[in-house]
């Protein structure tokens, strides 16, 4: 999700921040956070205090857009995490700093803002929480890069990157079982914990790669997210279309990840069509089956679609798409007419023609399944074929 998009999606929050943010508020928040951090071992760390001030200013300057503000802060946070590792300080200290800062900020905002703000206050807290998670991940990334390079490991966090980091990592993939196991172990994640694969149809899954709970490799197009994240959570953190796999333990992630990659490629190639931003892999199961084995698909096409294939290109495409929709509606003419926005009489006419072509096959579940797979297999080719105009309704 780009900063521009996320700002447009929260115009009320951006406008409110522009109206109320001033030097006094910035000073109050700055002092409150630094006072809380003074209770920790970073009390005399001037660099941390500078980062606190800079982070507050950046969030306000970007009108509450967490991704844009985090992108501006990325290099500073990476260097801060790197410096912690050089000082041989544990990465949990970084997490502790951010948790203390977050609690202090929350408490101060609850004091300083009116509860009458309602949904606007909820938007503010959501944006700030996303911002803090992004900053924390950036700092941890810097820490991991130094710590693992010092230990001279070959499969480590040094190969993990975020989209805003300017450093080019070595190539590691999330289907490398050894890498994922070490990554999970280093972050204290049990290999029985449930995760979901997220694979972009483009080049980048978005800002979710920067969050501390997410496991990533060097490819910006995929990540593993906790299974408790809903599709709505994922959609808020990614701008382009993604496929999400089934929830499985980390040690069983290999096949769901590969399946999600195949599904994302089918969407990217136009073989599968789905308008949603987040597409569950199971919703593309028929397309995956149809394009999983070309020889099997050819057998089913030859077995069931010879007569339909003889129709003119435009007509066969209409009947193919209608057949899929009708079978998907359980054979309900009224439902398919409503779904396709066509007259019921037209739906009746097309069902009659389908029964002439397929006969009793449409009454047998096994044949209906094979016909469905065959139709998914040929639809990309039929959609691409040039068509002549024909009478509406046929």
Q: Scanning the structure block, which residue is given the tokens 């501390």? A: 212
Least trusted range by pLDDT, from 62-71, 193-202, 274-283:
62-71
Position with higher pLDDT, 304 vs 105: 304
Q: How many secondary structure helices (H) and strands (E) does the chain include?
A: 17, 5
Compute the distance between CA of residue 372 and CA of residue 301 in angstroms, rounded to an integer. Answer: 10
Average pLDDT on 271-277 reads: 87
**What proportion of the chain, given as a percentage, has pLDDT over 90?**
22
Judged by DSSP in three states, 131 sits in helix
Antiparallel, parallel or unpaired: β 278-280 and 248-249: unpaired
Long-range CB contact pairs, 345-354, < 8 A, 24+: 346/393, 347/322, 349/393, 349/394, 350/318, 350/319, 350/322, 350/326, 351/326, 353/319, 354/319, 354/322, 354/323, 354/326
Average pLDDT of the segment spanning 178-195: 80
Whether 51 has a pLDDT exceeding 50, the answer reads yes
Q: In the prediction, which pLDDT does 24 show?
A: 66
Element spanning 100, H or E: helix 91-112
The model's pLDDT over 102-151, given as tens digits with 9 standing for 90+, comes to: 777 777 777 666 555 566 667 777 777 777 777 777 777 776 665 545 44
Mean pLDDT lowest for which of 68-77, 91-100, 220-229? 91-100
In degrees, rounded to 5, the angle at the alpha carbon of residue 9 between the alpha carbons of residues 7 and 11 is 70
Beta bridge partners of 224: 197, 215
Contact present, 254 and 177 (Cβ < 8 Å): yes
Which tokens sit at 200?
């972009």
β pairing state of 194-200 and 222-226: antiparallel
Return the DSSP state at 225. Answer: E
C-alpha 73: how far from chain center: 23
Q: How many CB atoms lie within 10 A of CB 86?
A: 13
Cβ–Cβ < 8 Å for 136, 210: no
Mean pLDDT over all residues of the chain? 77
Task: Give the Å distances, CA to CA, from 388 to 1, 270, 323.
Answer: 41, 22, 20
Whether the Cβ atoms of residue 36 and residue 100 lie closer than 8 Å to each other:
yes
Residue matched to tokens 């990840």:
257
Instruction: Decide the pairing of beta strands 194-200 and 242-244.
Output: antiparallel
Q: Which residue has the tokens 């136009």?
A: 270
Confidence of residue 264 (pLDDT cuts 50, 70, 90): very high
What is the average per-residue pLDDT within 162-166? 36
DSSP lists the bridge partners of residue 195 as 226, 248
The reported pLDDT for the residue numbered 32 is 73
162 C-beta neighbours (distance < 10 Å), count: 23
Residue 102 Cα to chain centre, angstroms: 25
- Mean pLDDT along residues 222-235: 90
Q: pLDDT-derived band of residue 269, with 50, 70 and 90 as boundaries?
A: confident
Q: 257 CB contacts (<8 Å, ≥6 apart)?
A: 174, 175, 197, 199, 222, 224, 245
Rounded percentage of the chain residues whose pLDDT exceeds 70: 76
CB atoms within 10 A of CB 39: 10
Q: Which residue has the tokens 């068509």?
A: 387
354's tokens: 């389908």
Nearest to 260 by CA among 204, 347, 199, 321: 199
Q: What is the pLDDT of residues 239-255, one digit of tens each?
A: 789 999 999 998 888 88
Report pLDDT for 265: 92
Average pLDDT over residues 179-187: 77
Q: What is the pLDDT of residue 84?
A: 74
- H or E element, residue 52: helix 46-61
> Rounded to the nearest 10 degrees, what angle do helices 46-61 and 23-37 cross at?
140
SS3 content of the chain, % helix, strand, coil (to 5): 65, 5, 30
Reported confidence tier of residue 42, pLDDT bands at 50, 70, 90: very low
At 8, the pLDDT band (50, 70, 90 cuts) reads very low
Nearest Cα to Cα of residue 234 among 258, 270, 263, 209: 209
Q: Is 249 helix (H, G, I), strand (E, B) or coil?
A: strand
């Amino acid at each position: 999700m780009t900063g521009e998009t996320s700002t447009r999606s929260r115009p009320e929050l951006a406008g409110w921040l522009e109206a109320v943010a001033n030097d006094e508020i910035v000073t109050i928040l700055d002092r409150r956070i630094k006072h809380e951090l003074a209770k920790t071992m970073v009390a005399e760390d001037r660099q941390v205090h500078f980062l606190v001030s800079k982070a507050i200013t950046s969030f306000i300057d970007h009108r509450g857009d967490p991704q844009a503000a985090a992108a501006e802060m990325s290099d500073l946070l990476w260097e801060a995490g790197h410096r912690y590792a050089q000082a041989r300080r544990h990465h949990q200290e970084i997490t502790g700093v951010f948790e203390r800062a977050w609690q202090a900020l929350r408490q101060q905002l609850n004091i300083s803002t009116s509860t009458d703000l309602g949904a606007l206050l909820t938007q503010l807290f959501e944006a700030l929480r996303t911002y803090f998670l992004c900053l924390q991940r950036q700092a941890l990334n810097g820490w991991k890069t130094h710590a693992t390079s010092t230990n001279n490991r070959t499969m480590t966090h040094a190969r993990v990157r975020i989209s805003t980091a300017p450093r080019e990592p070595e190539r590691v993939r999330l289907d490398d079982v050894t890498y994922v196991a070490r990554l999970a172990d280093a972050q204290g994640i049990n290999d029985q914990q449930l995760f979901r694969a997220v694979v972009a149809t483009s080049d980048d899954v978005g800002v979710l790669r920067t969050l501390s709970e997410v496991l990533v490799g060097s490819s910006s197009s995929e990540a593993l997210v906790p299974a408790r994240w809903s599709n709505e959570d994922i959609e808020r953190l990614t701008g382009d279309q993604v496929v999400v796999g089934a929830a499985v333990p980390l040690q069983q992630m290999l096949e769901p990840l590969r399946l999600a990659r195949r599904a994302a490629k089918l969407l990217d190639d136009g073989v599968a069509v789905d308008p949603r931003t987040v597409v569950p892999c199971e919703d593309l199961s028929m397309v995956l089956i149809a394009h999983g084995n070309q020889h099997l698909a050819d057998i089913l096409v030859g077995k069931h679609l010879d007569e339909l294939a003889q129709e003119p290109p435009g007509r066969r495409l209409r009947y193919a798409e209608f057949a899929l929709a009708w079978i998907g509606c359980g054979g309900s003419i009224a439902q398919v007419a409503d779904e396709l926005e066509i007259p019921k009489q037209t739906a009746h006419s097309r069902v009659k023609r389908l029964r002439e072509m397929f006969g009793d096959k449409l009454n047998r579940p096994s044949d209906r399944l094979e016909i469905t797979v065959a139709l998914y297999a040929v639809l990309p080719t039929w959609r691409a074929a040039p068509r002549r105009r024909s009478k509406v309704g046929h």
